[in-house]
Chain A
Amino acid sequence: MNEENLSIVALITNASLLVQLVMATLFLMSVLSWIMIVQRALFLNGALRSFREFEDTFWSGIDLNQLYQDLNDQTQEQGPVDGIENVFHAGFREFNRLAQTDKADPDAVMEGTDRAMRVALSREEEKLSTNLPFLASVASVSPYIGLFGTVWGIMNSFRGLAMVQQATLATVAPGISEALIATAMGLFAAIPAVIAYNRYAAQVEVINGNYETFSDEFSSILHRQVHSR
């Protein structure tokens, strides 16, 4: 006991099994939450960028049929498209189908188109906010898990203290230090998750708003088209 090594490794390997389990859980949660954080960052940035690009091409005066055809080709080549293209694609397809029927009531056409776009929108929103619930639960739960490990470790170290006649700080300090690692790990997992969750929730909100605005604008264009006939 006297040659006690206070390095992190020694503290972790000397910890009791439960505390070690807690630490392992927290480490795993931290790894997973970082995976989510990076993946979401890539995904959301990509979504925002592709939205801007699509908006640019959309408002550049390109023929909508041409755009739709391009998207169709792209879908056949690379599988289903993501983001705002999907909304546009779904809406335009529905519009075309309804408009090609002979006695198409303009209101019915618009209603069908809006519905199709709404469905596509909610799909897109779902895609945007995948994994965010996981980040939220890591953010809120991992401090508690860490705290549990710490409380358990401190409990044990105080129980050891009861056996000692002359209690000095040095008899409890290693145990408490060891136990506090669990809290540190909990916070280490939680803090990035909280930040990322808040940031991504805001970003999803923004992108979603953009999609909705776009779908309304697109709907108004189609509306003009269907009523001008």
Chain B
Amino acid sequence: MGNFLSYAAAVLVSIAVHVLVVGALLVNWQPTTERIVMQPQFIEAKLVELAPKKKRQIDRPVKPKIDPARKKREADQRRAVQKQKAAALKRQQEQALKAEALEKKQAAEAERKRIATEFAKTLAEEEAQINAQEDDRIANSYRQVIQQRLSENWSRPPSARRDMETVIRMQLVPTGRVVGVTVLLSSGDIAFDRSVEQAAFKAEQFFELQQMAPEMFERRFREVDVAFSPRDLRL
């Protein structure tokens, strides 16, 4: 009977111990650091264009201006008419009228031509802009490729912090190979800068750039500026 009692006491004690332990865990276990929201898995390495693209304003065709020469000529004619006698006046007037008509016609002609050239120019400009947009689109897709490759090759040092940013300039050749890297803007942390440089060197060659039109490469990808900033870090 003492046996039974001792078992009952043991069960009680054991359960009490476990309840205590579990309770202590439930009450006291707070994660000391707040859980950080998971950022997208990719490191954001955004390409920075140093010279921002100018917004070109499309010139609307301007309304033809009134020709001041014409007025002057009319006044001249009027003065001539006053000097001559009335006999010549009617003929002169007819002549003047004819001349005026001719003048008007010429002016209209010139005006039409001017509008036409203006229109052509605007059209060309617009086309150029559309081309530029298309170029931008293509260039952006290549930039994205570069960005992805760089972020894959980027291993950040432990000293990396969220607000650091390093801008590097990569010199590329048309095969897509990286021939030079210079740090344009240092983050202040040498290890971080070096990791960025290493990322560029490790990427080594962007084969995708070989498919690009040569003039676009010359214009946009001979030198590429990239900003590195670890946005997904907690600190």
In the docked arrangement, what's the CA distance between A36 and B35, Å?
41
| B17-75 contacts to A (CB < 8 Å) | 17-18, 21, 25-26, 29-31, 35-38, 41-43
A38 touches B41 (CB 8 A): no
Taking a contact as CB atoms under 8 Å apart, the answer to whether B14 and A38 are in contact is yes
B11 touches A166 (CB 8 A): no
Interface residues of A in 1-57 (CB under 8 A from B): 1-9, 27, 30-32, 34-39, 42-43, 46
Cβ-based interface call for B107 (8 A): no
Number of A-B pairs, beta carbon distance below 8 Å:
68
In the complex the two chains form, is A39's CB within 8 Å of B7's CB?
yes
User: Is B80 part of the contact surface with A, judged by Cβ < 8 Å?
Assistant: no
Task: Given A164-B41, A170-B36, verify A6-B10 contact (CB < 8 Å).
Answer: no
A5, B35: Cβ atoms closer than 8 Å = yes
Task: Report the minimum CB–CB distance from B208 to chain A (whole Å).
Answer: 18
Q: Which residue of A lies closest to B14 (CB)?
A: A34
Among A1, A165, A188, point to the contact of B38 (Cβ < 8 A): A1
Q: Indicate whether A79 reaches chain B with its CB closer than 8 angstroms.
A: yes
B11 and A35 contacting across the interface, CB-CB below 8 Å: yes
Docked complex Cα distance between A78 and B37 (Å): 68
CA distance A39 to B11 in the complex (A): 8
Residues of A within 8 A of B15 (CB): 31
B2 located at the interface, meaning its Cβ lies under 8 Å from any Cβ of chain A in the complex = yes
A36 touches B37 (CB 8 A): no
Q: Which one of B10, B25, B43, B151 contacts A38 once the chains associate, using CB atoms below 8 Å?
A: B10
Residue of B nearest to A38 (CB): B10
Task: Say whether, besides A7-B30, A78-B1, A166-B43, A35 and B37 are in contact (CB < 8 Å).
Answer: no
Chain A residues in 8 Å Cβ range of B13: 34-35, 38
Asked if B9 is at the interface of the complex by the 8 Å CB criterion, the answer is: yes
CB distance B18 to A6 under 8 Å? no
Which chain A residue has the least Cβ–Cβ distance from B42? A166
Tell me if A35 and B26 are in contact (CB < 8 A).
no
* Size band of the interface chain A makes with B: 20 to 34
Q: Are A79 and B1 in contact (CB under 8 A)?
A: yes
Given A2-B37, A31-B18, A42-B9, answer yes or no on A8-B26 (Cβ-Cβ < 8 Å).
Answer: yes
B window 190-212: CB within 8 A of A:
none
Residue of B1, B30, B35 near A4 (CB, 8 A) is B35
Give the residues in chain A near B26, CB-CB below 8 Å: 7-9
Residue on B nearest A79 in the bound complex, by CB: B1
Which residue of the partner chain B has the closest CB to A33?
B14
A168 beta carbon closer than 8 Å to chain B:
yes
A4–B30 Cα distance when bound, in Å, is 13
Knowing A6-B35, A168-B232, A170-B38 touch, does A31 contact B25 (C-beta < 8 A)? no
A36 pairs with B10, CB closer than 8 A: yes
Q: How many residues of chain B get a CB closer than 8 Å to chain A's CBs?
A: 29
- Would A34 and B9 count as touching, CB distance under 8 A? no
Decide: B2 and A46 in contact? CB cutoff 8 A: yes
- B18 with A42: CB separation less than 8 A: no
Cα distance A166–B41 in the bound complex, in angstroms: 6
Would you give the shortest CB distance from B10 to chain A, in whole angstroms?
A: 4
Q: Give chain A interface residues in 68-117, CB to chain B under 8 Å.
A: 78-79, 82
Asked whether A35 and B10 contact (CB < 8 A) given A8-B25, A46-B2, A166-B43, the answer is yes
B10 touches A42 (CB 8 A): yes
Q: Are A34 and B17 in contact (CB under 8 A)?
A: yes
Q: How far is the CA of A3 from the CA of B35 in the complex (A)?
A: 8
* Chain B residues within an 8 Å CB radius of A36: 10
Q: Which residues on the A side are within 8 Å of B84 (C-beta)?
A: none
* Pairwise interchain contact A39-B10, C-beta atoms closer than 8 A: yes
> Is B6 part of the contact surface with A, judged by Cβ < 8 Å?
yes
| Among candidates B3, B36, B41, residue contacting A165 with C-beta atoms closer than 8 Å | B41
Given A6-B35, A7-B31: A168 touches B41 (CB 8 Å cut-off) = yes
Which residues on B are within 8 Å of A, measured CB to CB?
1-3, 6-7, 9-11, 13-15, 17-18, 21, 25-26, 29-31, 35-38, 41-43, 151-152, 232
16 CB-based A-B contacts, threshold 8 Å = A2-B37, A7-B26, A7-B31, A27-B18, A32-B14, A35-B7, A38-B9, A38-B13, A39-B6, A39-B10, A82-B2, A166-B41, A166-B43, A168-B41, A170-B38, A171-B41
Which 5 residue pairs across A and B have the least CB separation, nearest first?
A: A34-B14, A39-B10, A38-B10, A166-B41, A6-B31
